[in-house]
Amino acid sequence: MYGINPILNQKDFLEMSQLTPEQLADLLDLAGELKARMQAGFSDLPLKGKILGMIFEKNSTRTRVSFETGMLQLGGSAIFLSGHDTQLGRGEPISDTAQVLSEYVDGLMIRTHEHSRAQAVAEYASVPVINGLTDFEHPCQALADLLTIKEIKGELSGLKLAYIGDGNNVANSLLVAGALAGMHVVCATPAGYEPNKEAIEAAQSASIGTGAKVEIVHDPYEAAKNADVLYCDVWTSMGQELENEKRLTDFADYQVNDKLTACAKEDYLFMHCLPAHRGEEVAASVIDSAHSVVIKQAGNRLHAQKALLVDLMSTPRQA
């Protein structure tokens, strides 16, 4: 039965670096099992009566719908709390909000800007806290990404994943996740846009014993050479709008287009966490091609997150 033997040995899930290679593999297996059972028509309700509080200080379509749907499919429910719906928006200390919400719900998901805010919620909450996105990491996205690659390629170890573009929170999580899975992860960015130093160090540490290889380069064609997976994200993320013109110039040579994909393997997969800007970070001929798995990838957010929810919320945890 789900939850009897928890996969994670901590209360919260905030960063990919919290996982061991074995825990990552087990989470992906659980996600695959939950997905298969749902598609076969089974109604598993391991979270019957459980409530997830969802704090959104940063808007999202996929995060809200996937978490809310996941809770409903698992027998629980979810409460949406925007930045305007809580006292956080009026200056209440995070410690107070986290402790009070813990009296009402069985778990919390937070999507916010500063990673320190998610860490603070986890510190003071007595219920599990999941990082739905911060400026440092997007770990739920990385879980869905690896689930998608594994479903299609049949394995993760030894595959080359090339991330092209801004070394942002998505890149940070992919570096660590890929390293844990034994992949060859290459991130190609313009100078000055490299992934966070802490994330690079975490990925290098995670690669020890897994056979993984982690590289940061500035040549997108070098990164794409013989890649099994090509991945990109928007050049200007939410909150960076004032930098848009400069970023369009700085990233002009980093578009994933037909010229770049010609360097990858013939059966490469194209991935993007969405929303995408066709004509900027990716050409329409790529994202709308048979190589693109962006819709399946987005759909797997639901199943990867359900695995997290089941593992964290179906068994009592120590605060």
Residue of 233, 247, 255, 297 marked active site = 233
Is 184 noted as a catalytic residue in this protein? Answer: no
At 89 the pLDDT is: 61
At 124 the pLDDT is: 97
Query: Which own/partner contact pairs does 241-248 have at CB distance under 8 Å and 24+ positions apart?
Result: 247/166, 248/280
Residue 85 has pLDDT above 80, yes or no: no
Is 273 noted as a catalytic residue in this protein? Answer: yes
Higher pLDDT, 241 or 270: 270
Residue of 64, 111, 115, 272 marked active site = 111
| 274 among annotated binding-site residues | yes
| 111 among annotated binding-site residues | yes
Query: Coil, helix or strand for 77?
Result: strand
At 61 the pLDDT is: 92
Residue 29 has pLDDT above 80, yes or no: yes
H helices of 162-293, where? 169-180, 197-206, 220-224, 244-250, 258-261, 284-287
Q: Tell me the C-alpha distance between 50 and 79, whole Å.
A: 11
At 240 the pLDDT is: 85
Written as one string, the DSSP assignment of 228-248 is SEEEE--SS-TT-GGGHHHHH
Residue 3 has pLDDT above 90, yes or no: no
Is 141 noted as a catalytic residue in this protein? Answer: yes
Calculate what percentage of the chain has a pLDDT beyond 90. 90
Question: Once rounded to an integer, what is the mean pLDDT over residues 17-43?
Answer: 97
At 9 the pLDDT is: 86
Residue of 301, 303, 305, 311 marked active site = 301
Q: Tell me the C-alpha distance between 128 and 122, whole Å.
A: 7
Give the model's confidence band at 4: pLDDT under 50 very low, under 70 low, under 90 confident, else very high.
low
Residue of 135, 273, 297, 303 marked active site = 273
| 140 among annotated binding-site residues | yes
Give the model's confidence band at 317: pLDDT under 50 very low, under 70 low, under 90 confident, else very high.
low
| 141 among annotated binding-site residues | yes
Identity at 200, one-letter amino acid code: I
| pLDDT averaged over every residue in the chain | 95
At 297 the pLDDT is: 98
Chain segment 102-158, per-residue pLDDT in tens: 999 999 999 999 999 999 999 999 999 999 999 999 999 999 999 999 999 999 999
Closest CA to 60 of 127, 6, 133, 117: 133
The domain segmentation of the chain, as residue ranges, is 12-137+300-314, 141-298
| 271 among annotated binding-site residues | no
Residue of 138, 247, 272, 303 marked active site = 138
Residue of 73, 119, 141, 305 marked active site = 141
| 63 among annotated binding-site residues | yes
| 60 among annotated binding-site residues | yes
Residue 319 has pLDDT above 60, yes or no: no
Strand order across the 51-56 sheet: 77-82, 51-56, 107-111, 129-133
Q: Encoding tokens for residue 284?
A: 């329409």
| 297 among annotated binding-site residues | no
Is 301 noted as a catalytic residue in this protein? Answer: yes
At 241 the pLDDT is: 87
The CATH code of the domain at 141-298 is: 3.40.50.1370
Is 317 noted as a catalytic residue in this protein? Answer: no
Question: Once rounded to an integer, what is the mean pLDDT over residues 4-27?
Answer: 94
CATH topology agreement for domains 12-137+300-314 and 141-298: yes
Calculate what percentage of the chain has a pLDDT beyond 70. 97
At 316 the pLDDT is: 64
List, in sequence order, every residue forming a beta bridge with 133; answer none if it has no partner: 111
What is the homologous superfamily of the domain 12-137+300-314 according to CATH?
Aspartate/ornithine carbamoyltransferase (3.40.50.1370)
